[in-house]
C-alpha cells in the first residue's frame, strides 16, 4: 500500500487545543461536530475473514447483550448514580446505625444450607454500651412462623486478653435431621423433627500464649421436640413406627440440662503471623445434669479433643493441616440415658463438614481431616478438606475400618471478624466402606452469620 506525499504538516489536525484569535465580543454560532481527521492518510484496511467471523458470536450474543445493557446495566447505573447524588448510603447508614460514632447498628443477614430452611434476619451490634469494652450483640432470624431465632449476648472486655460473656436465646426450627444413632445409619433413613431450644450461659474467655485459650462456661439448655416431618421426609415418629430405628433418648419428654464446660487449647501459631505453621491441641470436658425434678435425674459427661498440625507450604499462608479428633459421651450417676442431642456428632459445624448437621450421631466419634487453606483476597480464604471418620458406640469400642465414611468439601470463607462471616461451601459425604462408600450426602451452604 503506497502512502501519499502529505501536502502540509504530517496529519496535524488544525485548531486543536489552541485558542483562536478572535476579537472580543465575536459571537459565533454553535460549532458543528468536527469531522474525524484523517490521521495517517491511509485508506481503511478491508476486513478479513476474522472480522466476518466475529458476526457469528455477535448475533448469538445480541439478545443477552441487549438484556444486560438495557435491562440491567443502565437501570442499575441510574439507580447507583441517583443513590450517590441523593446520598442514599448516608441515609441507609443513618437508618441502620446509631450513635455519633456509629457504634451500634443493624445488619441484615441471610443463610442457606441445602436441605434445611433458609433464614433471613437482623443482626444487632452495639459497642461500648455504658462503658468501654462492653459490647452487646443480638440476632433475630426467621423463615415463616415455625423457624424463629432470638439470641443475645453481652461481652465485657476485662483486659486485652480476656472477656466475660453472658447471653441466651431461643430457637424454634421444624427441619432438624435425624438418621438414627450409630455408625451404620443410612442416608435413606432420613427423618425430620422440630425442636424448641432455649439457652442461657455465662462464660469467660482467656487468651493465653499465641492462639492458645481457656474457656470455662456454665449454662442451661432446655429442649423440647416434635416428631413432624419436613419437606419430603417423614417425621421421626413415622420412622420409628416403620421400624427404621428406636425413638431416641429424650425425644418424648425433652430435657432441661444445666451444664458446666471447660475448653482449653494450646496453639503455637501466632495471630497475623507471616507463616501459618504450628501445632494445635485442644480439649473440652462438659458435665450435663437434668434440672427438671419431674424427669429422670440424668447426668452425662462429654469430653474429647483435637490434635492438629499446620504446615505453611511456602510461607505465604498456603496451609496444609492434619487434624485428629475424638468425642465421647458417657452417662453418669448410674442412669444410662443421654439425650440424643447431647451425643457426639459429626457434620454440620463440626468435623466432616461434607455431611449435613444431624446426619451422624453416636456415643463417640473419631475423624481424621486433611485440610488445605489458601488466600483468595484480603478477607477471603479458600478451603478444601478430605476426612475419614464416623460416629461409633461407647468409647469407640466398635471401631472397624470398614465403618469409616469419607467427607469432602470445598469452599471459601471470609476472615477477620469472629462475630460474623460469609461462607460458601459445597461438600459431599459417603456411606461406610462396608456399604461401598457411595456418595449419598450432599451439602451446599451460602450465607453469613449462621449463628453465634
Partner 1 sequence: MSVPCRPHPEKPDKTICHPDPYESSFAWDGADNLVFRPVSDFLAVAPGGEAINVNAVDEVPDSSWFTNRIGREAMTVADVVAGPCAQGPALDPNAPDGSWVVDEGKANGANLGFRIKDASGQRYMLKTDDDVQPERASGATTISARLYHAAGWRAPCDTVVYFRPALLQLEPGLTVTDNTGVTRPLNQARLDQMLALAPKRNGLLRMVASRWLAGRPLGPFRYEGVRHDDPNDVIVHEDRRDLRGAKLLAAWVNHFDAREQNSMDVWLADREDDPSSAPGVVHHYYLDFGDCLGSEWEWEGISKRLGHAHYFDFGYTLEDFVTFGIVTRPWDEAKRSAQGDIFGFFNVEQFDAEKWRPGYPNPAFGRMTEHDGAWAARIIARFTPSQLRGIVQAADFTDPRHTEFIHRVLLGRQHRILQRYLAKLSPLSLFEMKGTSRLCATDLAWTSGAFSEAKFAYAAAVHRGAHAEFHGPIAVESGADGTLCMHLPHHAPDAGVPDDDAARYTILDVRNGQSRWPARVHLYDLGPKKGYRIVGLERPDSDEPPG
Comparing CB distances to partner 1, the nearer of 91 and 395 is 91
Q: How far is the CB of 293 from partner 1 (least distance, A)?
A: 55
Q: Which helix (H) or strand (E) holds 224?
A: strand 213-226
Residue 52 Cβ vs partner 1, minimum distance, rounded to whole Å? 13
Of the pair 139, 383, the CB lying nearest partner 1 is at 383
CB-CB neighbours of 192 under 10 Å = 26
Identify which of residues 54 and 158 has a Cβ nearer to partner 1 in the complex.
54
Per DSSP, helices labelled H in 182-327 are 236-241
Q: Whole-number minimum distance, CB 311 to partner 1, in Å?
A: 14
Helix (H, G, I), strand (E, B) or coil at 53: helix
Cα dihedral sign, 396-401-403-406: positive
Instruction: Please tell me the distance from the alpha carbon of residue 7 to that of residue 83, in angstroms, as a whole number.
Output: 54
Q: What nine digits make up the cell of 440?
A: 449419598
Q: Which three cell numbers stand for residue 199?
A: 439457652
**Based on CB atoms, which residue is closest to partner 1, 316 or 395?**
316
Name which of 210 and 381 has its Cβ closer to partner 1: 381
Q: How far is the CB of 200 from partner 1 (least distance, A)?
A: 37
Interacting residue ranges for partner 1, rule: CB under 8 A: 2-6, 10-13, 15-20, 22, 24-37, 39-42, 54, 57-58, 61, 64-65, 68-69, 72-73, 76-77, 80-81, 83-85, 87, 89-90, 314, 316-318, 372, 374-380, 382, 384, 412
Min dist CB 400 to partner 1, Å, is 33
Neighbours of 290 (CB within 10 A): 22
Nearer to partner 1, 65 or 452 (CB): 65
CB of 410 to partner 1, least distance (A): 9
Distance of closest approach, residue 58 Cβ to partner 1, in angstroms: 4
What does the alpha-carbon distance between residue 288 and residue 303 come to, in Å, rounded to a whole number?
11
**Nearest distance, CB of residue 23 and partner 1, angstroms:** 9
11 or 242: whose CB is closer to partner 1? 11
DSSP 233: B
Q: Provide the 3-class DSSP secondary structure of residue 271.
A: coil
CB-nearer residue toward partner 1: 41 or 108: 41
In which region does residue 78 sit, left (phi positive, over 0), alpha (psi from -120 to 50) or beta (all else)?
alpha
The whole-angstrom separation of Cα 192 and Cα 173 is 10
Distances (CA, A) of 411 to 325, 372, 439: 21, 11, 18
Q: How far apart are CA 231 and CA 144, in angstroms?
A: 14
Amino acid at each position: 500500500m503506497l502512502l501519499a506525499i502529505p501536502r502540509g504538516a504530517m496529519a496535524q489536525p488544525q485548531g486543536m487545543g489552541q485558542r483562536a484569535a478572535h476579537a472580543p465580543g465575536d459571537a459565533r454560532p454553535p460549532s458543528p461536530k468536527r469531522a474525524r481527521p484523517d490521521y495517517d492518510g491511509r485508506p481503511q484496511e478491508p476486513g478479513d475473514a476474522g472480522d466476518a467471523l466475529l458476526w457469528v458470536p455477535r448475533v448469538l450474543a445480541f439478545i443477552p447483550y441487549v438484556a444486560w445493557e438495557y435491562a440491567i446495566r443502565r437501570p442499575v447505573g441510574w439507580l447507583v448514580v441517583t443513590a450517590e447524588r441523593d446520598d442514599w448510603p448516608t441515609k441507609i447508614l443513618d437508618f441502620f446505625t446509631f450513635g455519633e460514632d456509629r457504634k451500634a447498628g443493624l445488619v441484615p443477614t441471610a443463610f442457606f444450607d441445602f436441605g434445611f430452611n433458609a433464614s433471613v434476619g437482623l443482626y444487632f451490634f452495639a459497642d461500648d454500651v455504658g462503658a468501654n469494652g462492653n459490647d452487646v450483640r443480638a440476632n433475630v432470624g426467621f423463615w415463616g412462623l415455625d423457624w424463629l431465632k432470638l439470641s443475645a449476648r453481652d461481652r465485657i472486655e476485662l483486659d486485652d486478653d480476656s472477656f466475660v460473656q453472658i447471653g441466651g436465646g431461643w430457637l424454634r426450627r421444624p427441619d432438624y435431621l435425624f438418621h438414627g444413632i450409630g455408625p451404620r445409619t443410612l442416608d435413606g433413613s432420613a427423618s425430620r423433627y422440630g425442636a424448641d431450644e432455649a439457652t442461657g450461659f455465662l462464660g469467660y474467655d482467656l487468651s493465653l500464649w499465641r492462639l492458645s485459650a481457656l474457656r470455662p462456661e456454665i449454662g442451661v439448655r432446655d429442649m423440647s421436640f416434635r416428631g413432624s416431618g419436613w419437606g419430603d421426609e417423614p417425621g421421626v415418629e413415622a420412622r420409628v413406627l416403620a421400624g427404621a430405628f428406636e425413638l431416641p433418648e429424650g425425644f418424648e419428654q425433652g430435657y432441661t440440662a444445666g451444664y458446666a464446660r471447660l475448653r482449653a487449647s494450646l496453639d503455637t501459631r501466632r495471630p497475623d503471623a507471616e507463616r501459618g505453621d504450628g501445632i494445635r491441641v485442644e480439649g473440652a470436658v462438659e458435665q450435663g445434669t437434668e434440672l427438671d425434678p419431674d424427669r429422670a435425674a440424668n447426668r452425662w459427661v462429654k469430653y474429647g479433643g483435637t490434635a492438629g498440625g499446620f504446615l505453611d507450604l511456602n510461607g505465604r499462608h498456603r496451609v496444609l493441616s492434619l487434624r485428629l479428633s475424638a468425642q465421647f459421651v458417657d452417662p453418669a450417676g448410674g442412669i444410662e440415658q443421654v439425650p440424643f442431642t447431647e451425643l457426639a456428632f459429626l457434620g454440620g459445624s463440626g468435623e466432616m463438614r461434607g455431611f449435613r448437621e444431624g446426619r451422624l450421631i453416636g456415643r463417640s466419634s473419631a475423624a481424621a481431616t486433611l485440610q488445605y487453606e489458601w488466600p483468595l483476597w484480603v478477607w477471603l480464604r479458600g478451603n478444601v478438606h478430605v476426612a475419614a471418620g464416623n460416629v461409633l458406640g461407647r468409647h469407640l469400642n466398635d471401631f472397624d475400618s470398614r465403618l469409616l465414611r469419607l467427607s469432602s468439601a470445598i469452599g471459601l470463607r471470609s476472615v477477620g471478624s469472629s462475630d460474623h462471616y460469609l461462607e460458601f461451601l459445597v461438600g459431599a459425604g459417603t456411606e461406610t466402606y462396608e456399604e461401598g462408600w457411595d456418595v449419598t450426602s450432599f451439602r451446599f451452604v451460602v450465607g453469613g452469620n449462621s449463628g453465634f
